[in-house]
Amino acid sequence: MKNQEIIDMTSEFVAPTYSRFGIPMVRGKGCQLWDAEGNEYLDFISGLGVINIGHSHPRLVDAVQRQAEALIHVSNLFHIPQQAQLAKEIVSRTFPAKVFFANSGAEANEAAIKLARKYGQHVKPGRVEIITAHNAFHGRTLATLTATAQEKYQKGFHPLLPGFLYVPYNDLSAMETAVTDNTCAIMVEPIQGEGGVNVPGDDYLPGLRDLCDQKGILLILDEVQTGIGRTGKLFNYQYYDLEPDILTMAKSLGGGVPIGAMLAKNEVADVFLPGSHASTFGGNYLACSAGLAVLEVIHQEGMLENCQRMSRILFKALSDFSEHCELIKEIRGKGLMVGIELYSEGKQIVNRCLEQGLIINCTMEKVLRFLPPLIITQRDLDRGLDIFFKTIKDIQG
Ligand SMILES: Cc1ncc(COP(=O)(O)O)c(C=O)c1O
């Protein structure tokens, strides 16, 4: 099929919930993608932070192929060895805890919200409120949409879920003021992704941890976007001397095979009993085999180190360029999660880069976002930056 045929069939039969680039992709390898007509693209967005180990990594392909031949699904009526192994692997790289497996970031967060409410009520009846931050993004199910304190996503879906309060991000005193006796948890992203790649001050997460300890409430960190090496450590919280009570992850955990996970400290996790929560597909053979392969590749192939190395080169190049660029207001991020805030809208730059074969995206209208695969080489980084800088120069005139 040609590009246009695929676009037309999509418009006719697929719900119009996405604004798309208008390019049907059919093949990927490493940092490269090819469309249905054979045109090549350099991927600086990794399927929205999913393809951290690169497209079609041979070890992931092999693991999925072998698992598909052996067994794909039986449901959680049975014990699933790969599920137990993946949970063990995640816990061994984080903190003593138990894992609930889901199929997406929203579902991992949905599980976190349900668990926090159940735990809160176990501590004290009526303790069900969760405080989240302005410009957060936690997902599109009704509970996670309510947690997502952004009017543009919530519009049209009221009434939302009761029991959520919003405060400005990176503002410890606002958070402190918002906590009441009915609060069961604070839920934040360690770096806001969709909200504009907002990096909080160094004291923010430790301050939230202290606040939660003082008030006896839970700290939920949503690492759906920052997790699995995106910021140069397996999880962003590992840059600090603290642990959350609940940690959620998804996106890159399966390297493109849908999976989400919620990790909760044992004393919290233990309020979930058989029947408290469930998912037909959650933690099935295919998804967990993919997760195991991804974690193995991340660690055995030095991807965290490469992420940190490429990050230094990328931030230096962007910062040098921005000194002579009137369009750029600020560059922020960590590891290979980068936001470039412009003075004006970024859509034109995204489209012009795409015409030149570079895939980036834009969030909050003015923040260009780079999330390249963690395997990126300096050659590919330079190629992408060449296209990006030339595009900006052309637009600047
Ligand atoms: C921080 C964060 N949480 C949750 C989600 C929702 O994940 P999903 O789209 O897999 O439901 C996203 C998606 O972008 C995210 O960035």
pLDDT score, position 270: 97
CA of 250 to the centre of ligand 1 (A): 8
Full 3-state SS string of 92-135 = HCCCCEEEEEECCHHHHHHHHHHHHHHHHHHHCCCCCEEEEEEC
Q: From first to last of its 397 residues, what are the pLDDT tens digits of the chain?
A: 899 999 999 999 999 999 999 999 999 999 999 999 999 999 999 999 999 999 999 999 999 999 999 999 999 999 999 999 999 999 999 999 999 999 999 999 999 999 999 999 999 999 999 999 999 999 999 999 999 999 999 999 999 999 999 999 999 999 999 999 999 999 999 999 999 999 999 999 999 999 999 999 999 999 999 999 999 999 999 999 999 999 999 999 999 999 999 999 999 999 999 999 999 999 999 999 999 999 999 999 999 999 999 999 999 999 999 999 999 999 999 999 999 999 999 999 999 999 999 999 999 999 999 999 999 999 999 999 999 999 999 998 8
253 lines ligand 1 (CB under 6 A): no
Of 297, 288, 317, residue with least CA distance to 99: 288
Is the CB of 106 within 6 Å of ligand 1? yes
Q: How close is the Cα of 149 to the center of ligand 1, in Å? A: 14
Please give the pLDDT value at position 396: 87
Task: Give the residue among 97, 305, 61 at the shortest CA–CA distance from 89.
Answer: 97
DSSP codes of every residue in 231-278: TSSSSGGGGSS---SEEEE-GGGGTTS--EEEEEEHHHHTT--TTSS-
**Active site (annotated) includes residue 98:** no
pLDDT at position 397: 80
Any atom of ligand 1 within 6 Å of the Cβ of 45: no
Per-residue confidence (pLDDT) for residue 368, from 0 to 100: 98
